[in-house]
Amino acid sequence: PKPEPQWFVLAYNVFVAGGLGSTYGDLLTTFATLEKTLGFQQVRMGLQVKGRPELLSFWVGRGRMKRAMPVLKMEDIPEFCDTWWAWWRSLQPGWRK
């Protein structure tokens, strides 16, 4: 298998450093294994913007920089989650819905 490209190592380290618990760590490890198995393919098309949560658009619009990462207030979490899942479902192919 191909070695991990620098972009992947940097992103992986940012997420691991978040200290989000063992379940999240297991998810990241599984994701890293999947990416390695698939050869770290870089798809050049982005995700649909329509319906994307504004906070996510704000962060993406600033180059996904850690220092520009927005903070989600506790009271905004339910609305953010609803918007996120609606957006995510809209990205799925018909056979997956």
* 39 and 51 part of one domain: no
- Those residues with Cβ within 8 angstroms of residue 16's Cβ, 6 or more apart along the chain or in another chain: 25, 28
- Domain of 63, in residue numbers: 46-97
* 35 and 77 part of one domain: no
* 51 and 40 part of one domain: no
Four-residue CA torsion sign, 31, 76, 14, 90: positive
Say if residues 56 and 13 touch (Cβ distance below 8 Å): no
The total number of structural domains that make up the chain: 2
Q: What is the pTM of this model?
A: 0.48
* 24 and 51 part of one domain: no
Say if residues 82 and 54 touch (Cβ distance below 8 Å): no
Q: What is the pLDDT of residue 1?
A: 59
pLDDT digits (tens, 9 = 90+) for 16-60: 888 888 898 899 999 999 888 888 877 666 778 899 988 888 888
Query: Which residue did the predictor score with more confidence, 84 or 18?
Result: 84
* 36 and 75 part of one domain: no
* 40 and 58 part of one domain: no
* 14 and 32 part of one domain: yes
Return d(Cα 32, Cα 18) in angstroms, integer. 16
Return d(Cα 28, Cα 24) in angstroms, integer. 6
Query: Which residue did the predictor score with more confidence, 82 or 59?
Result: 82
- Mean of the per-residue pLDDT values of the chain: 84
